[in-house]
Structure 1
Amino acid sequence: MNLNPKTTRIIYSITIVLCFMPFVSPAMALIAGLALSFAGLKNTGFSKFTPLVLQAAIVLMGFGMNLSQAIQASKSGFFLTASSVTFTLTMGLLIGKLLGVEKKISWLIASGTAICGGSAIAAIAPVIRAKDYQISFSLIVVFILNAVALLIFPFIGHHFNLGQEVFGMWSAIAIHDTSSVVGAGATYGPQALEIATTVKLTRALWIIPLSLLIATVNKDDQKGKVKIPWFIALFVLALAAAHFLPHWEPTFDHLNWLGKRGMVIALLLIGTNMSLKEMKQAGLKSLLLGIVLWLLTGTLSLSLLMNQVFGI
């Protein structure tokens, strides 16, 4: 499709405005961006701001996290959370290497599976300087598996007669995004919802040490220096502000909303920078990595929880 630059800018502007509407989900935004790209409608004037929008969204979403709730949840589930995050990341990188998956895609899919889906991928991507097609493909894998988990987890839980506490813990470990964790927990029962939400919130905080770890591991080859993800420091400040300044909660709620909408815009822009050629470059092996890692994490964590290995 050949349109003049002015028309393309108008289309992009309208699409970005629509991203502020509550009915536009992150998945819808990514699909819309891909549609614009595949239609030949690219605009570098907008897409060049993708990293900035992505990082700003992560920082703003920090204002919406309850630090006290996360710390309380971590007291009872720290060992389980630390073990599962470490295991998932290690296995993700190992399986990715065995399958011949690009290292950065392995990092993104493993991080998304280990912590909190799309949010973790968005936070890690600028740290490792992932390309747009690597981010997009990783997000697509996570979105697909996330939707499947939301549908089948309650069914599996009832099939094995899982208690609400065990189901809440399992869904927080094995489902990627917080939204689907909350949805699955709410479907299963009120106690499952409470436990799933608090444990998932605790896992989300692992974005901070993971980002610093990855920044250390992935050094600049030429200069041998660590690329510090400074936006993570701002994310921590946002968490602290929300905790120590409770009387500003209405303002923080607005900033958190803006962060969530900013994430939707970032996903739109990421999609516009992707091409069919790059999707083929990512390959089916990356999709296989996501599926195998998810099944491994889900089945192992369920087995451990059912056998009360951690005293749950």
Structure 2
Amino acid sequence: MPKLFPLTSPLLQKTIFIVLVLLILFSPFFSSPLALLAGLVVGLLIGNPYTKYSGKASKHVLQGAVVGLGFGINLYQVAETGLSGIIYTFASLAATMGIGLLLGRFFKTPSKLTHLVSSGTAICGGSAIAAVAPAIKAEGRDISVALGIVFILNALALFIFPWVGNLLHLSQEQFGIWAAIAIHDTSSVVGAAARYGDEALQIATTLKLTRALWIVPLALISGLLYKDGKAKVSIPLFIVLFVAASVLNTFLPALATITPAILWLAKKGLLLSLFLIGANISLSSLKSISAKPFWQGLILWIIVASTSLAIIYFSS
């Protein structure tokens, strides 16, 4: 694994990796940004000794954590917010795809790469890219570049969004809606919202996973646009299980006795997934991103984030 300072032996790499995992799981001092930062230190400076396993592990741990967070959602409490959030979601999806297409033409980036970056920005980052890529028959390099852009912007969002939210004194509801709309991947949405507050976490998680359902029509439409016939897509299982957990928590009061333990495990799983995501970012993955697509993705993200923030801030 490429790293900045090849000073560590494989044994020391494994020791540092395992110690950090244990600290994240059992120390009360690790926050979402700190967990991601620890992962980036491993991936870029020390070297990830478990690259073969940590990529898949981060995905499964994150999905399990999201399902666990469903037990902290009361559907009655978020119904009204969810309805207003859907309006923001629908408008932002259409606007993001349109602006992304215009930026792609301006930067003269390949159309399929533009479509992948726009899709990842519009819905839920890597998940949307993974679903849309086969529908448009995207090349492997385009997929890796789009994912790399999303990973970098996700890392930035985890630090920037809570700072902006506190600076503008956003309410829990405002921040939750903004994070769900303007941050790419579920991991960073949940991480940023968890840092901001429990109510923001509930709103952001619910709205983000509701937003993820738009992957299905987006992939189908993308396949038709690129004349790929019928695109085979399905709703991710963890979204179904998240909804099921929310339903159980809402209508089975007896679960209140074990809910705190489930939520504790879910939040620890979130921290671990953020660490693993950071550990999977290497210098080679950063170098694979050329300037034009990155600037395209960055500008699109800034437009989406600033516009949605202005609408949410001034309409509340």
Percent identity over the alignment is 25
| Pairs within 5 Å for 1:121-200 | 121=125, 124=128, 127=131, 135=147, 137-145=149-157, 147-152=159-164, 169=174, 172-173=177-178, 176=183, 177=189, 200=204
Q: Which residue does 2:17 correspond to in 1?
A: 12
Separation in 2 of the partners of 1:109 and 1:7?
38
Amino acid at match of 2:207: R
CA deviation digits over 1:49-85, x for unaligned, max 9? 2332232222222222232222122345543443234
Shift of the 154–285 alpha-carbon distance from structure 1 to 2, 3 Å rule, reads farther
| Pairs within 5 Å for 1:256-295 | 256-285=263-292, 287-295=294-302
CA deviation digits over 1:236-257, x for unaligned, max 9? 2122222222321242332233
Q: Which residue does 1:210 correspond to in 2?
A: 214
Q: Which residue does 2:250 correspond to in 1?
A: 243
Shift of the 246–282 alpha-carbon distance from structure 1 to 2, 3 Å rule, reads farther
Separation in 2 of the partners of 1:302 and 1:51?
29
Separation in 1 of the partners of 2:16 and 2:229?
41
Separation in 2 of the partners of 1:127 and 1:49?
19
Separation in 2 of the partners of 1:183 and 1:49?
23
Amino acid at match of 1:262: G
What TM-score, normalized to structure 2? 0.67
Amino acid at match of 1:237: A
* Residue of 54, 62, 65 corresponding to 2:62: 54
* Shift, 1:142, TM fit: 3.5
CA deviation digits over 1:217-269, x for unaligned, max 9? 677x9997624322222222122222222321242332233222212212222
**Structure 2: segments with no counterpart, 5+ residues:** 1-5, 134-139, 184-188
Q: Which residue does 2:136 correspond to in 1?
A: none
* Shift, 1:279, TM fit: 0.7
What TM-score, normalized to structure 1? 0.68
Q: Which residue does 1:233 correspond to in 2?
A: 240
**Structure 1: segments with no counterpart, 5+ residues:** 112-119, 158-163, 187-192
Q: Which residue does 1:74 correspond to in 2?
A: 82
* Residue of 17, 32, 36 corresponding to 1:26: 32
Amino acid at match of 1:268: F
Amino acid at match of 2:34: M
Separation in 2 of the partners of 1:60 and 1:122?
21
Q: Which residue does 1:64 correspond to in 2?
A: 72
Separation in 2 of the partners of 1:224 and 1:76?
32
Amino acid at match of 2:95: F
Q: Over aligned residue pairs, what C-alpha RMSD do you find?
A: 4.2
* Shift, 1:271, TM fit: 2.2
Q: Does the 8 A contact of 1:73 with 1:198 survive in 2?
A: no
Amino acid at match of 2:30: V
